[in-house]
Chain A
């Protein structure tokens, strides 16, 4: 029996393999913060929210997925369409050509997307989403039509994701911060600025300068003045690396245009009247929440920074 027990014990010992032990941590295959399925889900949720709010023209419904400048711009558009019969809402396509995701390990994080063209006469729209913290949703913060003729640089796919660069990133020249500040200074100074040669031509700046010249002349004729103030929002400016080592800067820009006349009453025409808060007499300040998407090419290409998408969104008109 002793022999039998020993044989059985040995047999059982040979049968029972030890449980596996933890050895090493496998690397994550997909480095991007969002996979394509989740990114599409976020896009779908966003446009479901927009659709619901658009249907009722109620900006209060722009929660969860539409916040910040995007909510302010859309709310202004609701005001116009609710007060001007012939006004129509800006069409925001929910069909995306490309979605660019971040691979950041920290917050805030961003996601960008390029839509199909809304119609044959319009260029595609670039959207920007921001996630402030791990507890927050990705929220649509802004959008802008692409500049006619502009091309977005190639971006990393949704497996690797794009690296979120700091504004002071030195891998590109100029740095994103320097490129943005220079461009905004160019907008302040106008077409005659020396900085004009530092950036590729774009229709956004050209239209801004044309409107400025026209309004400045009109104000001058009325004994008043026209002043543009261009302010960046660096805290909400984000940079993604491009595939070729460049940078794509998403910059909210606040522009206030003050128009004054002397000895006359200022009248706000057309759709803009719906955005007037109060009674205007001789001076009005127009506030715009713009989104400028600036491409800073990699140094080896010797190309000028260029605005690839930008849009001038009027949100309020305040009398002063």
Chain B
């Protein structure tokens, strides 16, 4: 396998590497990712285990009107949450969505004559929001103001209008984050902004190495299909004319020597094919006429002389 062939193969492999690298570069995942979940409760809860997930830089919740984000000891948050319907964020479902569940508040129905005297409590996970806080059976167009009670249970509080964001580094380990709509309206969404580990350190080297190999292969391939010798001769002539230096003599048998000697197209013999009997008779006749030792002589006109003989001829010409 020649060097040129090896270079061409390397070029093909380089081209594949380059294409793969470019595809990976164009489609690779961003380091900074936003993951969200829609909410249909006035309260959203993120436990200490969720807040401890690595990479979370910021948590934001959207909604209408004033929003409040608070941290508390988990036991305190759990006690507070018994009175409200809330969405619990359980972690990542994927990089595009969060895993959540909704827990309804403990509802104690108002006693009535027909109803059972025992209160009914629902604190199981459900996809449906809790029943109205009001025991009244008549719908009301004006929502009742929500009384979230004392704020003494909260350790830290952040407030926002339509959106509240909390930086992950400002959350104390082991605490629960509770975010609610001050007006009691359902929240819009909860968003995690995180920086994730993307294994893309190999893409740039792949592109650069692939490109280099592809270029080498392209040159090797081009040199096989394009006759650059006239161009080389012109360059050498230009160099001689510009520098005035005496060009070195080409090495015997080198390509440069052959190039300088002219066309390398093979010469084709125009003689008729030889007759063996005729050749033998002619040889015998010469031997008898000269009495010299026979020697080998080319019977082919225009055949390539031996290198030594050819040098002698060229030297004579010079």
Binding site for B on A (CB under 8 A): 3-4, 7-8, 11-12, 14-17, 19-30, 33-35, 37-38, 42, 105, 107, 131, 134-138
Contact = CB atoms under 8 A, between A and B. Distances in A.
B185 interface: no
Contacts of B175: 28
B83 to A, nearest CB: 7
Contacts of A16: 29, 95, 198
A24 B49 contact: yes
Nearest to A6: B20
Given A8-B24, A25-B49, A135 B172 contact: no
B47 A15 contact: no
B53 A135 contact: no
Given A28-B73, A137-B152, A12 B28 contact: yes
9 contacts: A12-B24, A15-B29, A16-B95, A17-B196, A27-B173, A30-B172, A135-B83, A136-B150, A138-B152
B48 to A, nearest CB: 5
A25 B149 contact: no
Contacts of A3: 16
A20 B54 contact: yes
Interface stretch (B59-67, B86-94, B225-233, B258-266): B86-94
A24 B27 CA distance: 33
A109 B305 CA distance: 117
Interface string B170-210: 00111100000000000000000000111110110000000
Interface in B51-81: 52-55, 73-76, 79-80
Interface in B269-314: none
A7 B27 CA distance: 13
A11 B150 contact: no
A199 B5 CA distance: 106
B23 interface: yes
Interface in B136-189: 149-150, 152-155, 172-175
A44 to B, nearest CB: 12
Nearest to B149: A135
Interface string B85-127: 0000011101100000000000000000000000000000000
A33 B49 CA distance: 20
Nearest to B74: A28
A22 B174 contact: no
Nearest to A10: B20
B142 to A, nearest CB: 23
Given A7-B16, A15-B198, A21 B91 contact: yes
Contacts of B79: 107, 134
A11 B83 contact: no
Nearest to B97: A19
A15 B28 contact: yes
A111 B74 CA distance: 20
Contacts of A24: 49, 52
Contacts of B91: 19-22
Contacts of B55: 20
B65 to A, nearest CB: 22
Contacts of A19: 35, 91-92, 94-95, 196
Given A14-B202, A28-B172, 10 more contacts: A3-B16, A16-B198, A17-B197, A19-B94, A22-B50, A22-B90, A24-B49, A24-B52, A27-B173, A29-B172
Contacts of A138: 150, 152
Contacts of B199: 14-15, 17
B311 to A, nearest CB: 54
Contacts of B48: 25-26, 28
A26 B174 contact: yes
Contacts of B172: 28-30
Nearest to B22: A8
A4 B80 contact: no
A41 to B, nearest CB: 8
B67 to A, nearest CB: 20
A26 B49 contact: yes
A132 to B, nearest CB: 10
